[in-house]
């Protein structure tokens, strides 16, 4: 239960930083119209795979650069993404909490190494592909708009070893192959404007 409340705290902080609302005790009926969000407004929170999913070596997922770093530096489990908030297993509970607190959008990242174990299309992991279908479908069931971060700094370790990741001239083409796959696979479920790369804040 502790990890779920950690997610709630994160979501509340994200919402609080985006929208400044008065305390409930100061809003009178006559002021209520001033605090109604416009139709179509998306009020959401955000997570990233490496920070929340856990399940770092389950269901065919490959090793990403964070996994390699944590394990090569002998970090304890509570300092790694090995378990994290365990949202890989608890995503329905997490999405339910988001819906319960009134969010109608969630930004989440797709782990490149969970889709392509070594970063390339010939290493596709069907279990990983299905997992994100399940996550998106659950969001839709809860009337939450999925916002996909295609890349949140966690590329597969194999690409780092092969050509130094983003320092290698091959990386943009390999990333484009990954992005193209995501658009083709999830495009019917995620609106075209609801994709993001990285984190700019």
- The SS3 assignment for 124 reads strand
Domain ranges of the chain: 44-187
pTM higher than 0.85? no
What are the C-alpha distances in Å from 19 to residues 60, 113, 122, 193, 201?
Answer: 39, 34, 44, 22, 16
Cα torsion through 126, 141, 138, 1, rounded to 10: -160
CB 4 within 8 A of CB 97: yes
* Residue pLDDT tens, the chain, 201 long: 444 544 444 444 444 444 444 444 555 566 666 778 899 999 999 999 999 999 999 999 999 999 999 999 887 877 899 999 999 999 999 999 999 999 999 999 999 999 999 999 999 999 999 999 999 999 999 999 999 999 999 999 999 999 999 999 999 999 999 999 999 999 999 987 788 786 543
- Return the closest-CA partner of residue 111 out of 168, 53, 158: 53
Quickly count: other Cβ atoms within 10 Å of residue 109's Cβ. 25
Under DSSP, is residue 91 helix (H, G, I), strand (E, B) or coil?
helix
């Amino acid at each position: 239960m502790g990890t779920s409340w950690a997610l709630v705290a994160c979501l509340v902080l994200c919402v609080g930083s985006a929208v400044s609302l008065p305390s409930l005790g100061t809003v009178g009926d006559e002021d209520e119209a001033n605090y109604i969000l416009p139709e179509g407004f998306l009020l959401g929170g955000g997570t990233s795979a490496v920070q929340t999913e856990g399940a770092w070596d389950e269901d065919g997922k490959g090793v990403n650069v964070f996994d390699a770093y944590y394990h090569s530096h002998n970090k304890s489990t509570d300092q790694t993404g090995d378990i994290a908030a365990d949202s890989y297993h608890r995503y329905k509970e997490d999405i339910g909490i988001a819906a319960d607190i009134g969010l109608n959008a969630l930004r989440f990242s797709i782990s490149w190494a969970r889709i392509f174990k070594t970063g390339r299309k010939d290493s596709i992991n069907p279990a990983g592909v299905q997992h994100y279908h399940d996550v998106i479908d659950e969001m839709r069931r809860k009337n939450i708009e999925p916002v996909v971060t295609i890349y949140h700094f966690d590329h597969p370790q194999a690409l780092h070893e092969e050509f130094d990741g983003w320092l290698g001239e091959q990386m943009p083409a390999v990333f484009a192959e990954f992005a193209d796959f995501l658009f083709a696979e999830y495009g019917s479920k995620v609106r075209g404007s609801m994709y993001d790369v990285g984190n700019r804040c």
